[in-house]
Amino acid sequence: MTRNILKCAAGSLAAGLVLLAACGSPEQPKQEPAPAKPAPTTVTVNIAQMKFQPDTVRIHAGDTLLFTNNGVVEHNATALPDSAWTTGPLAPGASKKMVVTASTDYFCSIHIVMKGRVIVEP
Ligand SMILES: [Cu+2]
């Protein structure tokens, strides 16, 4: 009984392999892969020594920016010129994720000399 089941399973497996082989034959029209679109990723901007590091980041639409305050005082990252987005206050050691959809300059509204730029590529 068990042997018959095994034989049957082996038969099915063989049939399956034949089907797989047929699918992979060169006569089949080959499907073109979709245009390469990078998977969303997280890009980190470190805040340290009164600077955004790096001060310019290039991201793709859908990517996440992670601002991490590695400094010793509170900072934020706020879009220029209209505060379209802000991380809000980031205490030392704090992080905030932001999804930025348009290229923009930003600054720290507490220390206005701290400036950065996000370039969002399609
Ligand atoms: Cu600051």
Ion ligand 1: protein residues whose beta carbon lies under 5 Å? 75, 108, 110-111, 114
Query: How far does residue 92's CA lie from ligand 1's centre (Å)?
Result: 10
Rounded mean pLDDT of 91-103?
A: 96
Residue 116 clears pLDDT 80, i.e. is over it:
yes
Both tokens of residue 69? 């305050």
Tell me, what's the pLDDT at 21?
Answer: 45
The owner of tokens 């063989």 is 14
Both tokens of residue 88? 């809000």
| Residue count of the chain | 122
Cis peptide before 54 (omega within 30 of 0): yes
The owner of tokens 């095994």 is 6
Query: How far does residue 80's CA lie from ligand 1's centre (Å)?
Result: 14
pLDDT category, 16, cuts 50, 70, 90?
very low
Tell me, what's the pLDDT at 27?
Answer: 62
Query: How far does residue 106's CA lie from ligand 1's centre (Å)?
Result: 11
Tell me, what's the pLDDT at 42?
Answer: 96
Rounded mean pLDDT of 45-69?
A: 97
pTM of the full structure: 0.70
What topology does CATH give the domain 42-121?
Answer: Immunoglobulin-like (2.60.40)
* For the chain, percent of residues with pLDDT exceeding 70: 74
Query: Mean of the per-residue pLDDT values for the chain?
Result: 83
Domain ranges for the chain, please list them.
Answer: 42-121
pLDDT category, 81, cuts 50, 70, 90?
very high
Asked if 122 and 106 count as a contact pair (C-beta separation under 8 A), the reply is no
Query: How far does residue 51's CA lie from ligand 1's centre (Å)?
Result: 8
Q: Give the integer Cα–Cα distance in Å for 43 and 87.
A: 15
